[in-house]
Structure 1
Amino acid sequence: MRSSRLLSILLLLQTRHQLTARELADELEVSLRTVYRDVEALAAAGVPVYAEQGRAGGYRLVDGYRTRLTGLTEQEAASLFLVGMPGPAAALGLTRPAAAAELKLLAALAPDQRDRAGRLKDRFYLDMPAWYRQAEDSPFLADLADAVLHDRRVRVVYRRWEAPREVERVLEPYGLVLKSGTWYVVSGAGSSGFRTYRVSNVLSLTPTDEVFEREAGFDLATHWQTHLDDFEARRFTDTAVVRVSPALARRLSDLSATLLLKAIADSEAVPDESGWLTFELPIESIGNAAEQLIRYGAGLEVVSPMALRERLLAMSGELVRLYS
């Protein structure tokens, strides 16, 4: 543990040029006394580190000194894909390995390359959750990540949308996917192929020592894209003809109404003499479409099917009775 900390101090000074004892203590989450002892140990080992006094002082390395002791540990190497993504790294329990891997990568770069990398880090930030949504609470995410890394089965109690709501499952976690702030685990399902589970719906998890054999040639990114394509194909099974007012059409981008915008673009709808756009809209079901479309009020009219018009009329009547 101490040797890792000493290396971290050395790499921090190499990449940031000068740091105070307090800054080092905060970075490493240790006491000032520990920092003083560690710096003395580095100096005793022959590392040319010295302290500059004064208000703008701090610890520095002799100009030109560089170390090549930047080898990554197994866990740091595994966390490389999370460098620059503090939120997902923290959720997976890999904050420290990701930070250490980033530090070692920066230390291995030439000064001008390190400066460019630093500018990119300071000027670009990835925020995963969508607007108006908080990232979901997934208390078993770190356990699933560990099982993914070591190809171990886990036993879970899972809450699904249909009865019975709570079911027990044995998962073979091939990979984790983060989509719009929501984590999903892709699990092997024997002859059935693969199944996808929402991590926030895992109610309990029991690790096992059972190792499963991964399917040869499995690619997580390719599988996920295929899963999304299949989901979209199964999701929209019908269409509706709708009309959108000019006022609503101008606000669709602000409302993040991506389905309506895509349907308008695909249909190449042209405004009529009143400025309204008429086009076909893919829908999942009458009930789902009614719940989604009623939010647009009088700015959107369903032309067909009649069952959807009648469902919207009934919902509107319920609102009128409620507020009358």
Structure 2
Amino acid sequence: MKIDRLLSIVILLLNRPLIQAKELADMFEVSVRTIYRDIESINGAGIPVVTYQGSGGGIGLMPGYRLDRNVLSERELADIFTALQSVSSYGGGGHQLLMDKISSVIPPSQMEAFRSKTTQMIVDLSPWELMTPLEERIRLLKEALEEAVTVTFEYISAEGRVTRRTIEPYTLVLKGQSWYLYGFCTERQDFRLFKLLRMKALMKERRPYTRRDIPLQELPWGDGWKDPQQTAALTLRFAPEGRHLAEEYFDCETLQPDEHGGYTLTVHYPQNEWLYGFLLSFGTVLEVLAPAHVRRRLGEVARGVAAAYASDLTEPQ
């Protein structure tokens, strides 16, 4: 991603007097034009980068300039390193060069302590299964974001409606355990959030776009879904044989043992179709005790599922 590349270029310039734009472009697999835009961004951040013309020229820092090492402490560098490791674990490759460069600025006498800090917490975002189509979508969307070109795809809504969308991609979002694309929908003329698992026939177009200002205070993956008007307080009861599932999916501090050997707990979830699918995924070991309207709706969905398999239940085995 761009911020990784900018940091890598700065660290390279700190360690080399001159470097060719073409070498940087090959190193980061981007165009020379993109490298020059990066140099403008670095200059805009207050780091004086100078371009020298001629056969012995290249890109370098202004003579005498040194980056204040106090700008980033060792603890902050370790935090950045840990974050890059986490992102690289799934759908965020290409950070190894930056991690190597960060390691290169740590004095040898402090390297053991630095490595200790970077292994105190490991966040592995990769799934248990092997390579999935989702990873290919992430790779393609990262390319579209880098090149600032639109993408098209078929999108299946939570209600099952299929629409064809053309999107100006703005950012990839990992919320909970799901990946989303936040972008400007040309059909709706507004920003929308799209779950990657609901995309089909994703294609990158050659049509460029100019990024708009994102209203950061209104980002849809914030806390808006927690609004009391959109959520329900659910009282759940797990049967004794479902205790392991309760302990797998819910905080053990919230689980209250009951007189039957099971668990009861109260959780808050958004009231939508996802909720009923999630609750039904626990099968017969879970019962919703309240509220009544969620309990009734869950019963309707369960009866619909049972009706779909009714013929199989009556046929001789």
Q: Check 1:195–1:131 CA distance in 2 against 1; reply closer, same or farther (3 A cut).
A: same
Identity of aligned residues (%): 14
Aligned match of 2:208:
210
1:197 paired to 2:191:
no
TM-score for the superposition, normalised by structure 2? 0.52
Aligned match of 2:239:
245
Aligned match of 1:104:
101
Contact kept? 2:241, 2:262, Cα under 8 Å: no
Aligned pairs, how many? 236
Contact kept? 2:86, 2:125, Cα under 8 Å: no
Contact kept? 1:138, 1:199, Cα under 8 Å: no
Q: Provide, for residues 55-113 of structure 1, a one-character-per-residue CA deviation record: whole Å limited to 9, x for no partner.
A: xxxxxxxxxxxxxxx99xxxxxxx98963247457x45x52xx2222222222121122
What are the within-5 Å matches in structure 2 for residues 155-170 of structure 1?
155-161=151-157, 165-169=162-166
Aligned match of 2:286:
300
Q: Provide, for residues 106-157 of structure 1, a one-character-per-residue CA deviation record: whole Å limited to 9, x for no partner.
A: 221211222323344566532114567975534343343244345x241312
Aligned match of 2:150:
154
Q: 1:236, 1:132 → 2: CA distance?
A: 33
Displacement, 1:187? 0.7
RMSD: 5.0
Q: Provide, for residues 25-55 of structure 1, a one-character-per-residue CA deviation record: whole Å limited to 9, x for no partner.
A: xxx9xxxxxxxxxxxxxxxxxxxxxxxxxxx
Q: 1:175, 1:286 → 2: CA distance?
A: 26
What are the within-5 Å matches in structure 2 for residues 30-41 of structure 1?
none
Find the residue that maps to 1:84 and give its secondary structure.
helix
Contact kept? 1:147, 1:154, Cα under 8 Å: yes
Find the residue that maps to 2:221 and give its secondary structure.
helix
Contact kept? 1:148, 1:174, Cα under 8 Å: yes
Aligned match of 1:35:
none
TM-score for the superposition, normalised by structure 1? 0.51
Find the residue that maps to 1:109 and give its secondary structure.
coil
Aligned match of 1:230:
224
Displacement, 1:195? 0.9
Letter in 1 for 2:151: R
Q: 1:140, 1:290 → 2: CA distance?
A: 25
Q: 1:145, 1:154 → 2: CA distance?
A: 12
Q: 1:126, 1:177 → 2: CA distance?
A: 16
Contact kept? 1:128, 1:180, Cα under 8 Å: no
Q: 1:164, 1:251 → 2: CA distance?
A: 32
Aligned match of 2:168:
172
Q: Provide, for residues 3-37 of structure 1, a one-character-per-residue CA deviation record: whole Å limited to 9, x for no partner.
A: xxxx99xx9xxxxxxxxxxxxxxxx9xxxxxxxxx
Q: 2:211, 2:189 → 1: CA distance?
A: 15
Contact kept? 2:150, 2:209, Cα under 8 Å: no
Aligned match of 1:24:
none
Q: Provide, for residues 299-324 of structure 1, a one-character-per-residue CA deviation record: whole Å limited to 9, x for no partner.
A: 43445445544654675684854787
1:184 paired to 2:176:
no
Letter in 2 for 1:292: L
Find the residue that maps to 2:208 and give its secondary structure.
strand
Contact kept? 2:225, 2:270, Cα under 8 Å: no
1:83 paired to 2:75:
no
Residue ranges of structure 1 left out of the alignment (5+ in a row) = 1-6, 12-27, 29-69, 72-78
Contact kept? 1:239, 1:283, Cα under 8 Å: no
> Among 141, 145, 159, which residue is 1:144 paired with?
141
Displacement, 1:285? 5.9
Displacement, 1:167? 0.5
Q: Check 1:289–1:182 CA distance in 2 against 1; reply closer, same or farther (3 A cut).
A: closer
Q: Provide, for residues 160-196 of structure 1, a one-character-per-residue CA deviation record: whole Å limited to 9, x for no partner.
A: 2356525031x22221123456432211358965211
Aligned match of 2:62:
none
Q: Check 1:172–1:119 CA distance in 2 against 1; reply closer, same or farther (3 A cut).
A: same
Aligned match of 1:289:
276
Displacement, 1:209? 5.1
Q: Check 1:310–1:215 CA distance in 2 against 1; reply closer, same or farther (3 A cut).
A: closer
